[in-house]
Amino acid sequence: MNIVVTGGTGFVGRHLTETLVREGHHVYILTRSPENKENTGSVTYVGWLKEEYDPAEHLPHIDAIVNLAGESLNSGRWTEERKQSILNSRLDATQGVLDLIDRLPRKPEVLVNASAVGYYGQSKTKTFTEETTTPGNDFLANVVTQWEDRASQAVEKGLRTVYVRFGIILGEEGALAKMILPYKMMIGGNLGSGEQWMSWVHIDDVVGLIDFAIHHKEIEGPLNGTAPEPKRNKDFGKILGDVLNRPHWIPAPAFALKIALGDMSTLLLNGQCVVPKKATTRGYHFRYPELKTALESILLK
């Protein structure tokens, strides 16, 4: 297959590209700076999102598009300007994908669009599946709702469209690298009350779920990209401490995190219990369904 990937140079994009190439596909990575990239026999970099680039002119027939592009949530304080940038980066990239689809003489079969469990809002008591259709009412839920609404225009263009709502992605980069620092300093513990849910997923299953969505024609609409066993923060931290052979004992007070991080503290202090009902009922087998083995695979290499 010929597969277009946006955000292909990021953490998830690199892992996905490696897997797709290993499966024998050709990956076309859309980027604002193709001149700085080196093509290979199975990976081609194509310019986009600048006036001088028309990616449709440089693409063969495309079978699938995976849209991973968007500004990171955890790379700085959430000022009002940054919040707008987080939203705009996702909407602009998705609009770029839609514009590309319009320019292609033959439409791809499927668009797999990144999304997030933030769609569901925050709760310590509810469990969310893809059958939950009422979004939350906070900043992240608003971002995700607009993001998915924009991507849904691909349905009108005749594409099967999947929104993979990712949880906390565990891998050698991203959130986990920041989580382990307090434990390495022997000061790991609960964040706030520790009762908030952490719906996590191993990077290998992130890639696996995207691949599953591409190849399984019955999959459409929301697809929860989380492991089957979410954990409360207090339990996640204890398991992380055990894997690192470090204590889990000094809590970080909620007020201190709010002072230090502002609105971004919601990423640490609030969460949601999300289970991947559609993936499991449709036959996806998680490589890392349990947190301890997932963490060991990353931290004990």
191-212 pLDDT, tens digit per residue, is: 999 999 999 999 999 999 999 9
So what's the pLDDT on residue 59? 97
So what's the pLDDT on residue 287? 98
So what's the pLDDT on residue 142? 97
Q: What is the C-alpha to C-alpha distance for residues 278 and 233, in angstroms, rounded to an integer?
A: 25
Low-confidence ranges of the chain (pLDDT < 70): none
The beta-strand segments (E) located in 184-290 are 197-198, 200-202, 221-225, 231-232, 273-274
So what's the pLDDT on residue 74? 82
- CA torsion sign for 142, 154, 132, 192 is negative
So what's the pLDDT on residue 301? 82
So what's the pLDDT on residue 232? 98
Q: What length does the chain have?
A: 301
Classified by CATH at the fold level, domain 2-299 comes out as: Rossmann fold (3.40.50)
Do 294 and 171 form a contact (C-beta atoms < 8 A)? no
25-66 pLDDT, tens digit per residue, is: 999 999 999 998 999 999 999 999 999 999 999 999 999 999
Closest CA to 227 of 177, 300, 180, 297: 297
212-223 pLDDT, tens digit per residue, is: 999 999 999 999
- Residue 30 is classified by DSSP as E
Query: Which DSSP string do the residues of 98-120 spell out, in sequence order?
Result: HHHHHH-SS--SEEEEEEEGGGG
So what's the pLDDT on residue 284? 98
So what's the pLDDT on residue 75? 74
Encoded tokens for 146: 């607009």
